[in-house]
Amino acid sequence: MKKINFKKILNITLWVLGASALVFTLGFVSDREQFVKGRMPQIIINQDDENSFVDEDDILKFLKDRNDTLVDQPLHEINVFELEKALNAHPSIAKTDVAVNVNGEIVINIIQRKPIVRIINSFGESFYIDNKATLMPLASHFTARVLLVNGVIPEQYSQFYNLSIPQIQKDSALCAASVLDDIYELAKYINSDSLLSDLVTQVYVNAEREIELYPAIGNQKIIFGKADDIAGKFEKLKIFYTEGLNSSNSWDKYSIINLKYKNQVVCTKKQTPIIKKTIKSTETASVSKPV
| Pair (149, 265) in one structural domain | yes
Nearest residue to 187 (alpha-carbon basis) of 128, 136, 144, 237: 128
Q: Which domain holds residue 192?
A: 115-286
What phi and psi, each to the nearest 5 degrees, are found at residue 192? -80, -10
Would 177 be classed as within a structural domain? yes
Per-residue pLDDT of the chain (291 residues), as tens digits, is 555 555 565 566 666 556 555 544 545 445 555 678 888 899 999 877 778 899 999 999 998 888 887 888 888 888 999 999 999 999 999 999 999 988 889 999 999 999 999 999 999 999 999 999 999 999 888 889 999 999 999 999 999 999 999 999 999 999 999 999 999 999 999 999 999 999 998 999 999 999 999 988 777 899 999 999 999 999 999 888 887 666 556 667 778 899 998 888 888 887 754 333 333 444 444 433 333
SS3 at position 102? coil
SS3 at position 104? coil
How far, in Å, CA of 112 to CA of 210, rounded? 32
User: How high is the pLDDT of residue 70?
Assistant: 87
| Pair (246, 226) in one structural domain | yes
| Pair (214, 281) in one structural domain | yes
Nearest residue to 216 (alpha-carbon basis) of 187, 195, 243, 247: 195
Which DSSP letter does residue 217 get?
S
| Pair (262, 179) in one structural domain | yes
| Pair (185, 49) in one structural domain | no
How far, in Å, CA of 256 to CA of 267, rounded? 6
How far, in Å, CA of 164 to CA of 23, rounded? 47
| Gyration radius (Cα) of the chain, Å | 30
Strand partners, 254: 269
What phi and psi, each to the nearest 5 degrees, are found at residue 284? -120, 130
| Pair (170, 189) in one structural domain | yes
Q: Model-level pTM greater than 0.85?
A: no
SS3 at position 252? coil
- Torsion 163-169-172-175 (CA) sign: positive
Domain end position, chosen among 56, 80, 112: 112
| Pair (135, 214) in one structural domain | yes
Nearest residue to 244 (alpha-carbon basis) of 264, 225, 229: 264
